[in-house]
């Protein structure tokens, strides 16, 4: 009997090391950044059982076999749709600024999506203004309303949006609503899905969550885009979920969430509609490719809000938004201002920020003073010392959970959308970014960022270096989990 136990023990140990070594080899051959690969290996060896389970669940991008096959079949029709945009007069590559030219070329060659002129953008920064504007546009819709959000949380003005959609469907408007299954968990447990569907609203769950699905795809891969399309003429996108901040996570201790949305009219709206249609088709197998932008009968003489729409995530080039961010940072000549709620940058982004500071550029990063994710808050701090030593200014926003995701380069070129500066947004989630080549819009965004800075405290580098040793240990411990954040 003892020999049997010894044999079982030996086989168990052998199996354990086979699994450890096998996963280690897989981490290495995936050829991700050295920092990410090393962090995964550390997690796997320091806390083996947790590390192995975490890697199997979260370590590799996997949207599931059905979605992958469907996306492969969808590729050519959508590629043809996007390629048609290059024939429009709104495609004006010679009108792009120096900043936008390189980003535009990157997106043309890598994504097959051009930047388009002839847009009108409005920056909206208060939740009441945003939701009131969306409701007004829903009420005035004559043909179609399509919405896509990560979180829809019932309560407050979010319920007013729901009622507006029900009223629109009842008067014969085509209404489609795509919500992330995990992010909108509270919505799907409420009365609203049944009420909406009874009124004629088409409702779909993105990336459904269940114990069985864990075996087939990553559970932390989420639909993080925020899109509203009205009549293929008006669109919204930005950082705000479909929530009323006065009713959302009120007990989290971080204050109300602070967001922005961009209201868009013009040639980029059908493009955003096509991205929403892609997401809908991946989930439902129903195709609703929109009409492309109308070709202008005359040349466009004025540079009017040139916009590059940048979708990222599964189905898109893996590095696209990371490359856009790096390209933008390395082009800066005077000033960089970044706002992000979750700051767990890649090694390359950290190097780019430090290099910018070293060449005399004023680099400002604005993050929330309090975060709703304890792991992210501690992991973020592990990056501060090197940045502060290089001269980067880090501001901690005091007026709530700053959820705005924006980058402004030299007060002349801006990126705004759904992407956080963390691993999940950069390489995993379905995200959406606008690269805006328009001075007026960028100056408005710059003014908003300055309001954030005025309501923030600047981290003092000398004081930071005096923080307790246990803080440093905690920071480095959570840094090990940065691939999951």
Positions marked catalytic: 224, 226, 231, 403, 405, 410
Residue 397: count other Cβ atoms within 10 Å of its Cβ: 23
Q: In sequence order, which ranges of 171-287 are alpha helices (DSSP H)? A: 185-188, 192-199, 268-284
Alpha carbon distances (Å) from 410 to 104, 224, 331, 336, 468: 18, 28, 9, 6, 36
Q: How many residues does the chain have?
A: 485
**Residue 135 exposure: Cα atoms within 13 Å on the Cβ side:** 15
Q: How far apart are the first and last CA of the chain?
A: 47
Phi and psi angles of residue 119, each rounded to the nearest 5 degrees, phi first: -125, 155
In angstroms, how far apart are the furthest CA atoms of the chain? 90
Q: Starting at the edge strand that comes first in sequence, how are the strands of the sheet with 362-368 ordered?
A: 306-312, 431-437, 413-417, 406-409, 335-339, 362-368, 393-397, 456-458
Token readout for 402 is: 């700053």
Cα separation, 328 vs 326, in Å, equals 5
Taking CB atoms within 8 Å and a gap of at least 24, the contacts of 66-69 are: 67/217, 67/282, 67/283, 67/314
Residue 30: count other Cβ atoms within 10 Å of its Cβ: 13
Strand boundaries in 293-380, DSSP class E? 306-312, 335-339, 362-368
Residue carrying the six token digits 């051959």: 29
Cα separation, 435 vs 430, in Å, equals 17
Phi and psi angles of residue 232, each rounded to the nearest 5 degrees, phi first: 60, 20
């Amino acid at each position: 009997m003892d020999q049997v136990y010894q044999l079982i023990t030996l086989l168990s140990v052998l199996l354990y090391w086979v699994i450890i070594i096998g996963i280690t080899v897989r981490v290495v051959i995936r050829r991700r950044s050295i920092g990410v690969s090393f962090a995964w290996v550390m997690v796997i060896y320091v806390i083996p059982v947790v590390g192995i389970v975490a890697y199997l669940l979260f370590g590799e991008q996997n949207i599931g076999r059905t979605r992958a096959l469907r996306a492969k079949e969808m590729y050519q029709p959508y590629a043809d749709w996007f390629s048609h945009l290059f024939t429009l007069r709104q495609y004006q590559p010679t009108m792009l600024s120096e900043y936008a030219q390189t980003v535009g070329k990157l997106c043309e060659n890598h994504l097959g999506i051009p930047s388009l002129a002839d847009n009108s953008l409005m920056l909206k920064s208060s939740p009441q203004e945003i939701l009131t504007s969306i409701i007004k546009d829903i009420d005035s819709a004559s043909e179609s309303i399509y919405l896509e959000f990560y979180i829809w949380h019932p309560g407050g003005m979010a319920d007013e949006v729901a009622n507006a959609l029900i009223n629109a469907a009842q008067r014969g408007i085509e209404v489609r609503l795509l919500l992330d299954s995990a992010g909108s968990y509270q919505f799907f447990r409420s009365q609203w899905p049944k009420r909406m569907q009874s009124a004629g609203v088409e409702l779909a769950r993105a990336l459904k969550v269940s114990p069985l699905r864990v075996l087939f795809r990553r559970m932390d891969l989420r639909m993080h885009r925020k899109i509203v399309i009205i009549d293929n003429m008006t669109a919204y996108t930005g950082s705000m979920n479909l929530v009323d901040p006065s009713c959302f996570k009120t007990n989290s201790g971080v204050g109300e969430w602070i967001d922005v949305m961009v209201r868009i009219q013009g040639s980029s709206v059908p493009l955003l509609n096509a991205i929403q249609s892609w997401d809908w088709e991946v989930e439902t197998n129903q195709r609703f490719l929109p009409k492309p932008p109308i070709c202008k009968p005359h040349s466009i003489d004025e540079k009017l809000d040139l916009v590059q729409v940048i979708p990222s995530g599964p189905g898109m080039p893996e590095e696209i938004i990371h490359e856009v961010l790096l390209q933008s940072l390395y082009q800066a000549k005077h000033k960089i201002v970044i706002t992000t709620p979750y700051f767990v940058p890649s090694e390359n982004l950290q190097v780019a920020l430090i290099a910018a500071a070293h060449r005399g550029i004023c680099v400002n990063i604005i993050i929330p003073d309090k975060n709703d994710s304890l792991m992210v808050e501690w992991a973020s701090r592990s990056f501060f010392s090197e940045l502060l030593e290089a001269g980067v200014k880090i501001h901690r926003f005091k007026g709530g959970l700053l959820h705005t995701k924006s980058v402004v380069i030299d007060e002349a070129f801006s990126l705004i959308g759904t992407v956080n500066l963390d691993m999940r947004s950069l390489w995993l989630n379905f995200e959406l970014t606008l690269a805006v080549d328009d001075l007026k819009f960028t100056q408005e965004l710059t003014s908003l960022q300055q309001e954030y800075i005025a309501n923030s405290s600047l981290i003092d580098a000398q004081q930071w270096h005096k923080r307790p040793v246990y803080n440093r240990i905690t920071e480095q411990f959570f840094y090990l989990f940065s691939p999951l954040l």
